[in-house]
Structure 1
Amino acid sequence: MNHHTHLLEGTYNELLVTLSFLIAITAAYASFGLANRVKISRAKFIQFWLISGAFTLGIGIWSMHFIAMLAFHLPVDVSYNLWFVLLSILGAITGCYIGLYLIHKQKKSIKALIIAGSFMGAGIVFMHYLGMMAMEPIMISYDPFIVFLSILIAVAASNTALWLGFYSKLNEGKLTVFAKVICSTIMGIAIAGMHYTGMQAASFSGMSMSEHSNGFALNPIYLSVVIVFFIVCLFTAVFLTIFMDRRVQKQEVLKWAFFESALDAILVIDEKRHVLSLNYAAETLFSLKASDVIGSNVVKLLPFYEFSSLQDGRTEHSLLISNREVTVEITVMAVAIEETVEYMLYIRNMTQEREAEKNVD
């Protein structure tokens, strides 16, 4: 059968192009927030947040892609093959899930980041070009070099998203909302850049109706309804993320207020006995600043420190601080955080009580 084709020139609707950028940015913002939930949640909730993050980012990227497709106007009526559309959604979500899963399960390293980012990028590329195949009755040919460039952009964008979500200070909650918006904007531009680079690689030709696919096709109006539904889901995820962030921040403020206002000295150390934090009472007791000991071994403060001897109940010890002998009572509490354990050392100054006891005797 001979194909009756002719090259088609397309134009873009600027309003929909702008909307596609905004959706990409929103998806990035929501996925970063959900990535934070993965890192601080209990083990039984990790899969829930991984799936939620993958769904949000995948659907956001997919919605951005098809909004951009609707923004691209060809001089023929275009519909979209339902099965290719569904497969493109599945590809986007699956790629994002594998990337999030791998980055969470593997130890932090450049190699782990590249592997996870490559899987996520592959999912985005699969989604994009399968979504292009859904266009009917259209034939598409590609410039191999620009296609390769679009793949590189997809992988780079995925690595950027994973780095921002899991390796950077963004994941530690240390950035302001404004900084999060900036990072999300960078990520959104990268995602959109991949799409429009892939579109630049494509040449479109018309196909005769006799060669039209017999598969079930979505009218652009129906596709728009589907996209609107997913956008509502996406923005719901964003608002949910913001709500949870505020709750976590309130809990952190309350926890920090308790930590700082405690009369007893408190040290937090990791499994390698490095000091993670200490409160004002500890600074006063040891006559130093927190910055002088954070990151150093706890033996700098407690030369007698032997975890095995401190682990059971309360123990009493004598310390020499600023040429003055101080009696302290130490209580150790283990706190499980994800796959690691931190220890809180409650240190009560018992010097006055012991001196009073000696005077009574």
Structure 2
Amino acid sequence: MDHYFYDGRDLSTALETHYDVGLVVPSVAIAILASYAALSVAGRISAADSGHKRRIWLLAGSFTMGGGVWAMHFIAMLALKLPIAVSYDVLITIVSTVPVILASYVMLKVISRTKISKLIFLASVVMGGGIGAMHYIGMAAMQGISRQLIMMFEPRLLVLSVLTAVVLSGIALTIDFIIGRNKKGQGAIWAKIGASVIMGCAISGMHYTGMAATYFFAGDASPVFTESVLNTNALVFWVSFTSVLIALLSIFITIVDSRIQQATLEEAVSRSRMREAIESIADGFCLFDMDDHLVECNQRYREIMNFGTPIVPGMPFESIMRNAAQAGLILDADGCVEEWLAERMARHRTPRENFVEHFRGDRWIRVSERRVWNTGTVAIRTDITELKQTEIELSKAIAEAQKARAIAEEANSAKSAFLANMSHELRTPMNAIIGYSEMLLEDVQASQQDTFVSDLLKIHSSAIHLLSLINEILDLSKIEAGKMELFLEEIHLPSVINEVTNTVQQIVDKNGNKLTI
């Protein structure tokens, strides 16, 4: 096929052309679908967490977009109907895919950036130029079968076709970059659909504008063909099917990858929150799986179980306990590591109630273990050293108090015995004093020696009072022994007052005081 810029020849000699609408519509739809797939891949490129994944997505998106654009162009070329039979050169057709794949690579690399860039304009130019290059190289693959096919281009429409691709590509990329990135959920999807439609129109608009700029003429010479010429009759279905399948697979994979990444992110956030919650626990926390391998523990647990070897997930419970016992961390295991370990393992496998372990440095750790169905064992280790020390001090205080009480009771018993003995010893002479005072009082009254009566009455009254005090001391001993019986009796108040007055009157007179009743 010969192709030139239009040289002003008579257009009435140009071949009449028309389009098969049944192929035009699928060509546009494939362009839109490929654009949506490519923009979806761009989102995964941005979200990729490694350079390797970004490169894979970038290549996949480039071939998806490039293949979709090429499929749109090829089906649209098949939709063009000429009065002469045409076919396509295989090598040129394959080469025509290279510019658009490279352009797609550049475009996706630019729009996958996390920040808006002036390179979007460059991406639009590259993408529009790539579409145009693919289109016109692909048209060069057309071959007349029975007659030579001459193709001429109208320069202004040719430039317009490329500008159409550049401008619409720029609009589509801007919509996806600015609007799609700032919206979530349905808003982002609709922005992507809108950008895909505009990008599809850029691809289709460029093609059909370029076709409008093309005039076909039939030559006289019969071209020579090789086996590298394609038969166009059976290609429509397979090109369409393959392009749609690739685009749909790309969209499906991006959706699946997005959901997997979202689930992974949510899991990471959930795990991070769980980790923070575990670390915020003031006590030592650990979780073992069904096989008694460590799944998770906080820093406090590592501090409590610090036996010199780092504790990491996956360590067996038995190894942790054995290392702790052999390092002398747990005093309960001194001299009997194997026996203690066997008992500890049995208690771990069938936990029932909390227990206390004595650690090096006179520390006391309370252990609480619970078996969780289909999960493993959860354990909490609480440092109760201060509580244990308080308990020990309280026990000592109670023992000392009991000892002091025993001493006090013994002293009180001695006191009671002393008082009883002294009261008995005092009572005998007091009875004698009372008896002799009464005898003297009777003799004085009989001999009418009244001057001695007053003094003898005072001696007798004082002796009676002292005897009552001795009896009261004995009553105190009975009260302490719980044997005192109390009873009510009447007293003659004037007599009591008179006895008190007579007892203290001499002391009052001696000191020059005056007592008035």
TM band (smaller chain):
0.5 to 0.7
Q: Report if the CA contact (8 A) 1:80-1:219 is conserved.
A: yes
> 2:201 is matched with which residue?
189
Q: Report if the CA contact (8 A) 1:136-1:212 is conserved.
A: no
**Is 1:126 matched with 2:133?**
yes
Which structure is larger by alpha-carbon Rg, 1 or 2? 2
Find the aligned partners of 1:127 and 1:70 in 2 and give their Cα distance.
Answer: 16
Q: CA deviation at 1:126?
A: 0.6
> 1:71 is matched with which residue?
79
Find the aligned partners of 2:252 and 2:114 in 1 and give their Cα distance.
Answer: 30
Matches within 5 A, 1:77-116: 77-104=85-112, 108-110=116-118, 112-116=119-123
1:174 to 184, 207, 215: 184
Q: CA deviation at 1:215?
A: 6.8
Find the aligned partners of 2:114 and 2:136 in 1 and give their Cα distance.
Answer: 29
Q: CA deviation at 1:172?
A: 5.8
Q: CA deviation at 1:214?
A: 4.6
Q: Which amino acid aligns with 1:147?
A: L
User: Which whole-Å deviations, capped at 9, do the CAs of 1:332-354 have from their partners, x for residues lacking one?
Assistant: xxxxxxxxxxxxxxxxxxxxxxx
Q: CA deviation at 1:108?
A: 3.5
TM-score w.r.t. the length of structure 2 is: 0.46
Q: CA deviation at 1:134?
A: 1.1
User: Which whole-Å deviations, capped at 9, do the CAs of 1:259-282 have from their partners, x for residues lacking one?
Assistant: 899997xxxxxxxxxxxxxxxxxx
- Secondary structure, counterpart of 1:211 in structure 2: coil
Q: Report if the CA contact (8 A) 1:99-1:117 is conserved.
A: yes
User: Which whole-Å deviations, capped at 9, do the CAs of 1:61-103 have from their partners, x for residues lacking one?
Assistant: 1111111111111111110111110011112111211333355
> 1:50 is matched with which residue?
58
Find the aligned partners of 2:86 and 2:174 in 1 and give their Cα distance.
Answer: 38
1:209–1:26: structure 2 CA closer, same or farther, 3 Å change rule? same
Moved over 6 A (4+): 255-264
Matches within 5 A, 1:206-221: 206-208=218-220, 210-212=222-224, 214=226, 216-221=228-233
> 2:213 is matched with which residue?
201
Q: CA deviation at 1:39?
A: 0.5
Q: CA deviation at 1:182?
A: 2.8
Q: CA deviation at 1:213?
A: 5.0
**Is 1:239 matched with 2:247?**
no
**Is 1:150 matched with 2:158?**
no
- Secondary structure, counterpart of 2:196 in structure 1: helix
Q: CA deviation at 1:250?
A: 4.4
1:223 to 216, 235, 238: 235
- Secondary structure, counterpart of 1:157 in structure 2: helix
Unaligned 5+ segments in structure 2 are 4-10, 278-298, 300-517
User: Which whole-Å deviations, capped at 9, do the CAs of 1:281-337 have from their partners, x for residues lacking one?
Assistant: xxxxxxxxxxxxxxxxxxxxxxxxxxxxxxxx9xxxxxxxxxxxxxxxxxxxxxxxx
Q: Report if the CA contact (8 A) 1:92-1:123 is conserved.
A: yes
Q: Which amino acid aligns with 2:242?
A: F
The worse-fitting range, judged by mean Cα deviation, of 118-127 and 144-153 is: 118-127
Q: CA deviation at 1:217?
A: 0.9
Q: Which amino acid aligns with 1:115?
A: L
- Larger relative contact order (C-alpha < 8 A, sep ≥ 6)? 1
Identity of aligned residues (%): 35
1:13 to 15, 20, 24: 20
- Secondary structure, counterpart of 1:221 in structure 2: coil
Unaligned 5+ segments in structure 1 are 265-312, 314-361
Find the aligned partners of 2:179 and 2:51 in 1 and give their Cα distance.
Answer: 22
TM-score w.r.t. the length of structure 1 is: 0.64
Q: Which amino acid aligns with 1:228?
A: F
Q: Report if the CA contact (8 A) 1:153-1:190 is conserved.
A: yes
Find the aligned partners of 1:188 and 1:38 in 2 and give their Cα distance.
Answer: 21
Find the aligned partners of 1:18 and 1:212 in 2 and give their Cα distance.
Answer: 34
User: Which whole-Å deviations, capped at 9, do the CAs of 1:124-183 have from their partners, x for residues lacking one?
Assistant: 111001111111112211110111111111112332343344x22424662523443233
Q: Which amino acid aligns with 1:239?
A: F
Find the aligned partners of 1:173 and 1:83 in 2 and give their Cα distance.
Answer: 44
**Alignment RMSD (CA, Å):** 3.2
Q: Which amino acid aligns with 1:174?
A: K
> 2:330 is matched with which residue?
none
Find the aligned partners of 2:182 and 2:263 in 1 and give their Cα distance.
Answer: 15
1:186–1:204: structure 2 CA closer, same or farther, 3 Å change rule? same
Q: Which amino acid aligns with 1:77?
A: A
Q: Which amino acid aligns with 1:13?
A: D
Q: Report if the CA contact (8 A) 1:63-1:231 is conserved.
A: no
- Secondary structure, counterpart of 1:205 in structure 2: strand
Q: Which amino acid aligns with 1:35?
A: A
Pick the structure with more strand per residue. Answer: 1
1:183–1:116: structure 2 CA closer, same or farther, 3 Å change rule? closer
